Chains A and B, each alone.
Chain A
């Protein structure tokens, strides 16, 4: 039982929860004075979280290359696309 819950999954969940609170502070708390920088940081943090969910919770970290590549390319593409759209806005 201990090995089941004291696992990499639990460490990732804790990390994601802490990062979520951190990005919330950046967006709403004292955070960053530069709103554009704060927005970019929030978007990048969101996509890093999404990548962890895809690789570790969805278990495609060790999946066949085509599946892992599809996940990685979608994450990177969306991160670049959203950040660009945000900055030109």
Chain B
């Protein structure tokens, strides 16, 4: 293993270890917040695979998040399925959904892709509301009455316990983060970056760029779905509002803020934006104005995000 490679794995291990060891230091309020941030950061990590490393901007990712959420939530609600099988079902639903969606949507790219993803995302949101009888999308539903424990290898953990929430969230986040790191540093990951930079050239190097983009979208959607499923199980709520366009814009914003095309950017961006929004809510009911303002500032003055700028200036080795 080369030194830069060792440094990269060490950095990621250190971040995850810090999150693990920080638990006793966090006050209860922040403890739950960070657990929520970790799950949402997972969503951003998935989004980043597509935007940051493949160069495809989507405005329909809430669809994959919601597929994971409903794929896990409905079986629990209607059939009393356990937490782990529900997670697996949610991940499978989003993986399948992303792959099928990709077969259609990846005929387009650029702005056309953006619009197609937005249309499908909106259609999916409306579908959830239309079949309200089954999805209860309108008012949402809670899972805490049907599922109270997370059963792993014979042991039962109380899902209402914030320590369980935090560590489960950290576990899922670690898997997603390391999977994304492994992907972007692999030969396939380098092909994705090549597509982002110059797709025509990549094709003439002998790569089937359509299949590569399909892989990126499927991985991206699956990680988003894993986040959705985890969110439903840990925070007990499933509702169609998570499929709305606002929830497609959030991961875009988090990723851009932290740095698109950096593995740790999504975590940083999600954390910062989460707290910024909380403080903005205290100041004004029109807190979405703050969200919009951040987006504007980013696009105009810091298109590479925090870690992207840091990489340009100081640390070129950052993955």
Asked if A and B are interacting partners, one says no
